[in-house]
Structure 1
Amino acid sequence: MPIAKRNCWRLALIAALLTLATPAVLLGFGDQGCGAGACTDCHSLTPQQAKALLPSGVDQIHRVVPAEVGGLWQVEGESQGQRFTVWVDFSGRYLIAGNIIRLKDGADISKRVELAELQALPAVRLGAAEAPVVVEVLTDVHCQHCRTLHQQMQQVVQQRPEVAFRIHLLPLMMTSAEAAALQQANSLEALERAYRQEEMELPSADTAAVEALKDYARRWQLRGTPVLVLPDGLVLSGARPAARLIEALQPFLPAP
């Protein structure tokens, strides 16, 4: 979705919410605030209720869950073939549309994708075949930040052998044909030579898998590289040091 259209859609959401009264099914905080129990003991919001809050341009609400940020519902839906995540407060009076960054590790908690389709696509593996913690990575061999991230990923698998990365070639600066050839080669050595811009002779390959990856990235609004998708679908964008990667993966690592 073009930036201008996306911004107009978000503004339309906000304008529509300003005209809506608070539904009776939603509970505000009240004078006393929440009790000592779980938030869901007092508050509830179904996908149907969430869709009723939003304007008619929203085609479907896929999921409503308590957000990582207290007092908010995380609402995941679809509009015009594009996935989106917004937040509605427990009172049903306020909408937040945009990025929410977790300061501890820089994760954008507004970006969470479904993994099954990505996991079904071919990828070059960095790390042990039996590693239980697997991170999906979208990269472009002509991207300097992707090369930097790859070096940090190498350090991660050396320090934490229970982690592996599945590397997908998403052509932004490289061509689809180049991405398909590297993907078909399924060689970590060839991938690393490509990062170093070494000339190689690789047989041509069908670009169907690359086109499927491009379509996946478009639908989930993954517009740049590098991108890491954690085992719970949370998206991390950009290169980061090995120590920060390990910190982000800590919830998924086996107990010592």
Structure 2
Amino acid sequence: MTRTLSVITALTLTTGLLASSMAMADTPEALNELEVNGQKMPVKQVLETPMEGIYEVRLDTGENFYTNAEGNHFLIGDLFENTDDGLVNLSEQRRNTERAERIAAIPVDEQIVYRGTAEPKATITVFTDTTCGYCRKFHEEVPQLNDMGIEVNYLAFPRGGMLSDGARRLEQVWCTDNRTEALTDAKQDELPESPASCDNPVAEQYQLGRELGVQGTPAIVLPDGTMVPGYVPADRLAAMLGIDG
């Protein structure tokens, strides 16, 4: 499955061509200075791949593509390894690892956590929006997930961006004293009459979601970093986690 690079697309609308203004780069480190149509690309990291002479370029936006050491040819899409057991998506493996690492670094007090009374068997992270119908449907099954030993940690992802009503609602939720109760209420269109304001992580979590490839809500991230887009029934989600329903 290929991924469209919005940054590259935006920079090449006038020509319709992908090109680098770099001269023949002597070292792959020079890929950090990649330019397209005279504009420097927001390169975050350059990584080697199993293919000799081909490098993965990761952008600040969370998007990625592949290039040769000279930076004058681009490949957009995922890199697969052809093994005896079939095709292995190396690009997705790397994205999963990054998701797991970055989510693990988020302080618990910046999340909204729903857990059962027993020690959880697994923990999932869910990017959510209170205005999203399928997010509400998923939230109705959180008690069932908790009963099965699955802890649910919510992060904010206002689908309409930070100027949307969804973002305002999420900020109100994160600024209440009882976030779990407030989030449940907000998913039922019940908002506080006198909403509180505070420094909150909604904008940071929204940006994180974009960088990790979230395109809609709910976006469920499993413990290994695998992202499951959209609503998944509790029983099926438990099966994906290897937990008996």
Determine which of 113, 127, 132 is the counterpart of 1:138: 127
Helix, strand or coil for the counterpart of 2:241?
Answer: helix
Taking only aligned residues, the RMSD between alpha carbons, in angstroms, comes to 4.5
* Identity rate, percent: 21
Task: Name which of structure 1's ranges 135-144 and 145-154 shifts more when overlaid on structure 2.
Answer: 145-154
Aligned: 1:5 with 2:37: no
Q: 1:95 to 1:6 in 2, by over 3 A?
A: closer
- Note the 1:58-73 alignment, pairs <5 A: 59-61=43-45
Equivalent residue, structure 2, for 1:244 = 236
Aligned partner of 1:5: which letter? V
Equivalent residue, structure 2, for 1:31 = none
1:151 offset after TM fit, Å? Answer: 2.2
Aligned: 1:177 with 2:168: yes
Aligned partner of 1:155: which letter? Q
Equivalent residue, structure 2, for 1:167 = 154
Deviations 1:108-150 (A, max 9, x none): 9475323234455612211137425221111111110111121
Aligned: 1:97 with 2:77: yes
Q: 1:98 to 1:202 in 2, by over 3 A?
A: farther
8 Å CA contact 1:127–1:164 kept in 2: the answer is yes
Deviations 1:88-111 (A, max 9, x none): 9xxxxx9560599xxxxxxx9475
Deviations 1:189-245 (A, max 9, x none): 322221111343354122431122122223334232111122122221111111221
Alpha-carbon distance between aligned partners in 2 of 1:64 and 1:249, rounded to the nearest angstrom: 31
Aligned: 1:116 with 2:104: yes
Equivalent residue, structure 2, for 1:104 = none
Task: Name the count of aligned residue pairs.
Answer: 203
Aligned partner of 1:183: which letter? W
Alpha-carbon distance between aligned partners in 2 of 1:176 and 1:49, rounded to the nearest angstrom: 40
Query: If the length of structure 1 is used for normalisation, what is the TM-score?
Result: 0.58
8 Å CA contact 2:126–2:154 kept in 1: the answer is yes
In structure 2, list runs of 5 or more residues that go unmatched.
20-26, 36-40, 68-73, 81-90
8 Å CA contact 2:156–2:206 kept in 1: the answer is no
In structure 1, list runs of 5 or more residues that go unmatched.
17-47, 89-93, 101-107
